[in-house]
Amino acid sequence: MSDLTGLTIAEIRDGLKAGAFSAKELTRAYLSSMAAARNLNAYIIETPEKALAMAAESDRRIAAGAARPLEGVPLGIKDLFCTEGVHSQAASHVLDGFKPVYESTVTANLWAGGAVMLGKLNMDEFAMGSSNETSYYGPVVNPWRARGSNAPLVPGGSSGGSAAAVAARLCAGATATDTGGSIRQPAAFTGTVGIKPTYGRCSRFGIVAFASSLDQAGPIARTVRDAAILLRSMASVDAKDTTSADVPVPDYESAIGESIKGLRIGIPREYRMEGMPAAIELLWERGKEWLSAAGAAIVDISLPHTKYALPAYYIVAPAEASSNLARYDGVRYGLRVPGDDVIAMYENTRAAGFGKEVKRRILIGTYVLSAGYYDAYYLRAQKVRTLIKRDFEEVFAAGIDAILTPATPTAAFGLEAMALASPIEMYLNDIFTVTVNMAGLPGIAVPAGLSDEGLPLGLQLIGRPFDEAMLFRTGQVIEDAAGRFTPVPWW
């Protein structure tokens, strides 16, 4: 691991400005680290030539005194984001060979800010998974190991490649997406910071759709400050996405370091689940103590419809997925498997192109939208979603500034640990995160400690709509108290 790859984005910004190193030197250091860590399988494709060309342009701009906010910062891009002329396949075989002729708005914003693209990061296929084991390109391996064990662990999902790459110092930061916890859960599993912004804060244009009313882009970074820096560049209103919000994007970094004295932090009693591991319970208590010591008031609250969130989510999300994934038919782009007629070609292409988990969710989604079941399942789930949103609205209206919960029910588990379990056991990994997506709220996962096995654990903060600044402000208090967590390189 190079000294340069150990720098945070804030430190990179300062170092480049001071001339301590060049953008090309920094990029080469990352490319070297990536080459040495390919057994983690974090990257699907590396783009060294593109990265070095972008770094050279950054060096030119810095020398000319025209540096942009992210000038020379090397980033990894989740394979869900379309990048012009570069592999963009959502880690699925059905999009085999697809190289878009356009750029997603989020990545276009990053390149306009001076960032450097190192490559495309592995992920669960179509963002459907909580372990990064459903990728057509194989599972990502968590750079962490349990104490005294060499057993490989999952990095979480679906943004497992993003989280693993940031934790292993294979990029300074990464783009990710969150539909039901796919930023926050892998961040918690890898000791990194991940924020899912308010729905509409970042444009979804050019991001391969999973569930359109739930998907939201966000960053994974090493520190709260780095996440704030990245989100400011990623976020924007966009005429190409009618769900993007025309709301000013503040300077999130300026909120870091502000006092939280007098803030009211809610603790939802419904998140204290039966059978919760003692380590998670202890972590939550420690988080409350840290925030209280910093001057915040800890307030017990109720979110009574929380228990319905997971089943409602796993109706709404597959329903939207079944609609979105109907476009992959082998006609216009991606994989095509011939058949005797056009219907057979559709069937053969989809059978060969989609993985097992994607097929499962398409089937569930098609079922709940079908005649006779739409009212019983999908319509009822949408009503539950309204009640979940109302719970949060009432709590915030009562003066709560942010809500503190665990990020995950456990630490990272072993590769293939869920292979013999039912899909529901895997879905339970999202139990603390799906409510945030159902209500369209911002949520951040911050590393807060280690399990008894020496694996990272995270706390989650949930905020009011478009008040990500409050999450950065409060999250910094947790980071300052807990410290930062880095895996010991074994790869």
Cis peptide before 158 (omega within 30 of 0): yes
Q: Dump pLDDT digits (tens) for 379-415.
A: 999 999 999 999 999 999 999 999 999 999 999 999 9
> Is the predicted pLDDT of residue 1 greater than 50, yes or no?
no
Beta bridge partners of 74: 116
Q: Where are the alpha helices (DSSP H) in 126-183?
A: 160-167
Nearest to 42 by CA among 123, 130, 150, 136: 123
Q: Report the distance separating Cα 491 and Cα 483, nearest Å.
A: 24
Across 179-194, average pLDDT: 98
Any catalytic annotation for residue 182? yes
Q: Is residue 148 within 8 Å of residue 190, measured between CB atoms?
A: no
CB-based burial of residue 318 (10 Å sphere; 0-12 exposed, 13-18 middle, 19+ buried)?
A: buried
Per the listing, tokens 């949930």 go with 462
Q: Dump pLDDT digits (tens) for 342-379.
A: 999 999 999 999 999 999 999 999 999 998 899 999 99
Q: Is residue 72 within 8 Å of residue 12, measured between CB atoms?
A: yes
Q: Which amino acid is at 231?
A: L
Across 180-207, average pLDDT: 98
The catalytic position among 162, 182, 203, 233 is 182
Q: Report the distance separating Cα 10 and Cα 59, nearest Å.
A: 17
238 SS3 class? coil
Across 410-422, average pLDDT: 84
Q: Report the distance separating Cα 280 and Cα 449, nearest Å.
A: 10
Instruction: Please tell me the predicted confidence (pLDDT) of residue 223.
Output: 98
Q: Where are the alpha helices (DSSP H) in 135-196?
A: 160-167, 184-190
Q: Dump pLDDT digits (tens) for 50-109.
A: 999 999 999 999 999 999 999 999 999 999 999 999 999 999 999 999 999 999 999 999
Q: Dump pLDDT digits (tens) for 310-337.
A: 999 999 999 999 999 999 999 989 999 9
459 SS3 class? strand
Banded model confidence at residue 2, pLDDT cuts 50, 70, 90: low
The catalytic position among 78, 130, 162, 244 is 78
> Is the predicted pLDDT of residue 422 greater than 90, yes or no?
no
Q: Dump pLDDT digits (tens) for 440-490.
A: 999 999 999 999 999 999 999 999 999 999 999 999 999 999 999 999 999
Q: Report the distance separating Cα 192 and Cα 446, nearest Å.
A: 7
Instruction: Please tell me the predicted confidence (pLDDT) of residue 456.
Output: 98
Write the DSSP string, 377-429: IIIHHHHHHHHHHHHHHHHHHTT--EEEEES-SSS--BTTTTTTS-HHHHHGG
Q: Is residue 152 within 8 Å of residue 415, measured between CB atoms?
A: yes
Banded model confidence at residue 429, pLDDT cuts 50, 70, 90: confident
Any catalytic annotation for residue 196? no
**How far, rounded to the nearest angstrom, does the alpha carbon of residue 354 sit from its chain's CA centroid?**
22
Q: Is residue 33 within 8 Å of residue 3, measured between CB atoms?
A: no
57 SS3 class? helix
Please give the domain boundaries of the chain with CATH numbers for all domains: 4-262+408-482 (3.90.1300.10)
> Is the predicted pLDDT of residue 417 greater than 90, yes or no?
no
Using a pLDDT cut of 70, give the percent of the chain over it.
98
The residues, any chain, with a CB within 8 Å of residue 225's CB and separated by 6 or more, are 8, 9, 10, 253, 256, 472, 476
Across 428-448, average pLDDT: 94
The catalytic position among 158, 233, 322, 451 is 158
Q: Dump pLDDT digits (tens) for 127-164.
A: 999 999 999 999 999 999 999 999 999 999 999 999 99
Distances (CA, A) of 40 to 12, 176, 219, 354, 392: 24, 18, 20, 23, 39
Distances (CA, A) of 189 to 55, 150, 180, 258, 371: 31, 17, 15, 28, 40
> Is the predicted pLDDT of residue 430 greater than 90, yes or no?
no
Any catalytic annotation for residue 158? yes
> Is the predicted pLDDT of residue 13 greater than 70, yes or no?
yes
The pTM score is: 0.96
